[in-house]
Amino acid sequence: MSDLLELLLEGLPPEAVATDPDVTAAYRHDMAGFCAAGNPAVVVHPTTVEQVQHVMRTATRLRVPVVPQGARTGLSGAANAVDGCIVLAMGKMDRILDIDPVDRTATVEPGVVNAALSRAVAAHGLTYPPDPSSWESCTIGGNIGTGAGGLCCVKYGVTAEYVLGLDVVLADGRLLRTGRRTAKGVAGYDLTRLFVGAEGTLGVVVRAVLALRPAPAPQLALAAEFPSTRAAGDAVCAVMASSRTPSLMELMDRATVRAVNDMTRMGLPETTEALLLVAFDTPDPAADLEAVGELCLAAGATEVVPASDPAESQLLLEARRQALPALERLGTTLIDDVAVPRSQLAALLDGVAAIADRHELTIGICAHAGDGNTHPVVVFDAADPAATARAHQAFDAIMALGLELGGTITGEHGIGLLKKDWLARELGPVALELQQGVRAVFDPLGILNPGKVL
C-alpha cells in the first residue's frame, strides 16, 4: 500500500488521491444488487489524460487491478470494486472540448453527463440521441462502457452508432487513438466498436468523438390501454410492420403503472394490463398518431388517448422514465435486461407473467418495446430467504426464455458480474474463446476490471 501511494503521488496531486475508508467505501459498487463488491485500496480522481496514463503505468508496474468508474448508475455490477484495487473515478474529466455544427460532432471527456451534453448541443440546433433513463446523472464514458441505449433507440439507435472515435489509455499506459472525425472511414479494423460495450476491460476511455444529428421537432405522444400484454405486443408488431417509424415506443405493465402512480401521483390508468406509449417527431405527428391509434385499436386496445401538445407528451414520457425508481420502492429488485426480436415480444411478455405466477412473485415490466428490449423487474423481500431464492430462479428463467426466443441476455445494461455466468451460454465456446483472446491482447496482465464480463 505504501509503495502504491508513493508511486501514485509522483504523478498526481494529493487532492486526486483518496484512501480514507469512509470515502473509498462510497466507490465500492454501482446500482446492481446481489453483485460482489470489494474494498478499493485507493480512489483516484484524474483530471488529465496524463494522470490516467500515470495511474495505469503504476498499476502495471505493481500488478494492481484497476476498476474504471463513471457515475456508478450501471445495473450489472460492471463498476464494482475488487479488493485492493485502484478505483479510477473519471467524473472530474467532464469537459465538452468541442461542438462542431458543420461536421455535426462533439468531442468530450468521459465524465460529461449525458443530459449536459444534450443541452449543450441543443444550443446549436443539434441533438445527441442516446438517452438512457438515467440521462440526468449517467456519464458518456459509462454509456460507452456499457453500450447504453435509451427511450429513443427505436428510431435513432444506440450509443455504438454515435461513437466515431476514441482516445483510450491502455493497461500499460500507452495512449491509443481509434476511429475518425469524418463522416466515412473504413481504414483498418474497427477498434472503436470494440471498446463500446467493453465495460472497461480493454482500456480507459479518456476522450470521445460523438456524432450529432439535427434536433428533431417536438414529440407528440399517445397512450394506449390494453387488456393484456399480448394485445400490446401485437400492437407493437403492427406498428413496426407499418410504414411509420415512431421516435419512441415504450411499454409499462399494470404493476409498473401502479408503482409509478403511487410514487408520482400522475393519474395513469391503473385498470389496464399494459400501457403503450408511442411518440412521433415527424412533420405531421398528429396524422402518424391517428394511424397508430387505429392499429392499436385493431390489436385490442380499450382506449387510445393522444396528447394534446408537446408538454403533455413529455409528462407521459416522464412517467416511463420513473418506472424503475417506482418499482424499487416496492422492495428489493433484480432488474433484468432481455431483448428479443420484435416478433417475439408478446411471447416474452406472456412468458414473464407465467414465471411470476410460478414463483409467486411480482415482476413489473417496462420495455423499449419498439426494439424488443424489455426490463422485467423482479420485486421481492430480501429479508425472506425463500423469496430471495425464488427471485434468483425467476431471474434465470427470464434470461433462459429470452435466449429460447432468439434474443439476448442484455440489450443495453451489459454483462458486468450479474450475467457473467450466462454469457457463455449465449456466445458459445468458439466466440467465448476468441473474446478471451482479444481481452488478453489488450490486457495481458489481467489488471483492467478483473472478473467482469468474461
**Domains of the chain and any CATH numbers:** 2-89 (3.30.43.10), 96-214 (3.30.465.10), 220-404 (3.40.462.10)
Question: Per-residue pLDDT tens for 396-447?
Answer: 999 999 999 999 999 999 999 999 999 999 999 999 999 999 999 999 999 9
pLDDT (0 to 100) of residue 243: 87
For all residues of the chain together, what is the average pLDDT? 95
Question: Per-residue pLDDT tens for 206-233?
Answer: 999 999 999 999 999 999 999 998 999 9
pLDDT (0 to 100) of residue 133: 84
Cα radius of gyration (the chain): 22
Helix axes 345-359, 385-404, angle to 10 degrees: 160
- Closest among 213, 186, 44 to 131, alpha carbons compared: 213
∠ CA 212-214-220, rounded to 5°: 120
pLDDT (0 to 100) of residue 274: 95
Q: What is Dmax (Cα atoms) for the chain?
A: 70
CA distance 274 to 225: 6
81 close to 28: Cβ distance less than 8 angstroms: yes
Strand-pair category, 204-211 with 220-226? unpaired
> Which are the contacts of 349, defined by CB distance < 8 A and separation ≥ 6?
229, 230, 232, 233, 253, 274, 365, 374
pLDDT (0 to 100) of residue 206: 98
pLDDT (0 to 100) of residue 75: 92
Question: Per-residue pLDDT tens for 252-287?
Answer: 999 999 999 999 999 999 889 999 999 999 999 999
pLDDT (0 to 100) of residue 125: 97
Q: Which residues of 310-333 are buried (b: 16+ CB within 10 A; e: fewer)?
A: beebbebbebbbbbbebbbebbbb
pLDDT (0 to 100) of residue 162: 97
CA distance 277 to 350: 19
Mean pLDDT for back-to-back runs of 10 residues, the chain (454 residues) = 94 97 96 91 98 98 98 95 98 98 98 98 97 92 95 93 98 97 91 97 98 95 95 95 94 95 91 95 95 97 94 89 92 93 93 96 94 95 95 96 97 94 95 97 98 94
Which segments of 49-159 are extended strands (E)?
A: 66-69, 86-89, 96-100, 105-108, 126-127
- Closest among 386, 373, 262 to 323, alpha carbons compared: 262
pLDDT (0 to 100) of residue 34: 80
Question: Per-residue pLDDT tens for 310-324?
Answer: 998 988 888 998 998
